[in-house]
Amino acid sequence: MLRVGVMIEGQEGLTWERWRRIAETAEALGFESLWRSDHLFSLYDVPTRPGLDTWASLAHLAAITRRLRFGPLVCPITFHHPSVLARQAAAVDVLSGGRLELGVGAG
C-alpha cells in the first residue's frame, strides 16, 4: 500500500488560516500524514515573512483533524531541551489521540 504525506516549511509564509486550510484539505484528500519543519526563521533570509511556532501549530492540528498522523521533521535539540520537548510531544500526542510522530535531531 502506498502512503503519501505532505511536508510544510512553517517559517516560509505560513499563517493560521493557511495552516487550517492545508490540514483540512490534506485530510479530505486522504493523505496519511502532515509534517512541519522546525526552523525558527526564514531559510531565505526574509525576516518579515509570517511563520508559525512548530509546537503551537501541531497542537492546533491535533484539535482540528481526526485522522491525519503528523509531527515535526525534525525537532533539533539545539532549539528544544530534551525534557521540555518530551513533555510537549506527550501533551500533543494525548490531544491527538496518539497520532503524533516525533522526529528529533541535532539541528
**C-alpha cell recorded at residue 26:** 490534506
* DSSP-derived secondary structure letter, 5: E
Q: How confident is the model at residue 27 (pLDDT cuts 50, 70, 90)?
A: very high
Q: pLDDT tens, 4-14? A: 999 999 999 99
Helix segments in 1-107, DSSP class H = 16-28, 54-64, 82-95
Question: Which residue, among 64, 69, 67, 58, has the nearest Cα to 91 in the 3D structure?
Answer: 58
Q: How confident is the model at residue 106 (pLDDT cuts 50, 70, 90)?
A: confident
- C-alpha 62/C-alpha 50 separation (Å) is 21
pLDDT at 41: 81
pLDDT at 2: 87
pLDDT exceeds cutoff 80 at 107: no
What is the DSSP pairing of strand 5-8 with strand 33-36?
A: parallel
Note if the pTM is more than 0.75.
yes
Q: Does residue 74 have a cis bond before it (omega within 30 degrees)?
A: yes
Q: pLDDT tens, 58-101? A: 999 999 999 999 999 889 988 899 999 999 999 999 999 999 99
Q: Please provide the average confidence, as pLDDT, over all residues in the chain.
A: 94
